[in-house]
Amino acid sequence: MSELQLFKYFSTIEDTRQSGKIAHKLFDILFLTVSAVIAGSQGWEEIEEFGHDRLGWLRKFVAFENGIPTHDTIARVISKIDMHKFQSCFSKWMKDCHQATDGQVIAIDGKRLKGSFNQSDRKDAIHMVSAFACQNGLVLGQQKTDRKSNEITAIPELLALLEIKGCLVTIDAMGCQKGIAQKILDKEADYLLALKANQSGLYTQVQSLLGPEISRQCEQGTLFQEADYQRNREEYRCCITSNDLSQLPASLAWPELKTVGVIISYRNEKDKKSKELSSRYYISSAKLLPEELASSAREHWRIENGLHWKLDVGMKEDDCRIRRDGAPEIMAGVRHIAMNQLQSEKSFKKGVRAKQMKANRNTNYLEKIMFNK
């Protein structure tokens, strides 16, 4: 990606300030903010301080004719950016630079921004629903949930922004809705949805269908099994799928449903009492073998380990106290931009926080991350 090419996607965002009173261009402030967050800045004052420290470097790319804006100006300008336009620009950027491959798992899940609550009553912290390309470790898009609803309304809006043809979209039980399944199919992708009691009719029928199948495959020795061994934990899993849905009347209401399955797991953790067997049920529009379902279900959890955990531990997202107007969701999007650029940089084999610290110390490395050099 050539210098500043990333930012061309955001050049269409409207600056709503009165033109005669603009001392610092919107593009300059956005460039400063993204650069500062990549280099580890977490709040308005830190972004301003980064600007003063790196003004010479920043002026290699943008003019900053009136110097670095104050943190109050940065906060005011960022908080007034239209989130819908920002999301659209973000998704356009990812469509152009990320080519989804057939069968790639796209995990969709929500995350609460704990520090974005209303300061007067400490309520109404926002949720951001993100789409995550598990194989590449990249955020493809994000959507804020409405305070009066939940992820069910945000997921279709997010799907509308994405280019996911040929992919397998995985969502937890919150998104196990017929309308969402159809929306995924409309995007020429397949769905893999976690099934729980919120779909009681189908859930009960799937349990009844797969119960005897587990016993039969155990007796025949054909049961798909796998195990994970880590330092303090052992987990054993088996998976059963069925493509014969003739005994599932409730399946007729689900668009292009081809596979139902269950993953049964048992975990041993050091110094902890072993838990009972855990059963997780799934439905999919793709025709999946047990090993394929097990692999895709594991891939889904990469959004927790590869995105949410890194945002919290590396970028301290839950500690962020930015709450002004629309700033929390814009800054969540900025952190997603930063995360994508940091994840894409492969020469320094360290974690997100270590890369940020190196970018703060070394502007050559910061340029490498910013422009994918």
Average pLDDT over residues 357-371: 95
Alpha helices, DSSP H, located in 113-177: 151-161
Q: By mean pLDDT, which of 23-27, 93-97, 305-309, 320-324 is the weakest? A: 320-324
CA-derived radius of gyration, the chain? 23
* Model-wide pTM > 0.85: yes
For residues 329 and 336, give the distance between their C-alpha atoms in angstroms, rounded to a whole number.
11
CA dist list (Å): 297 to 62, 282, 287, 288, 313 = 44, 9, 14, 12, 24
- Integer Cα distance of 185 and 187 in angstroms: 5
Give the integer Cα–Cα distance in Å for 168 and 188. 10
Of 349, 276, 279, 353, nearest to 314 (Cα)? 353
Distance CA 250, CA 200 (A): 10
Query: For residue range 34-87, what is the model confidence (pLDDT) as tens digits?
Result: 999 999 998 899 999 999 999 999 999 998 999 999 999 999 999 989 888 998
CA dist 227 and 222 (Å) reads: 16
The whole-angstrom separation of Cα 31 and Cα 4 is: 9
Q: What is the mean pLDDT of residues 254-272?
A: 87
CA distance 109 to 351: 22
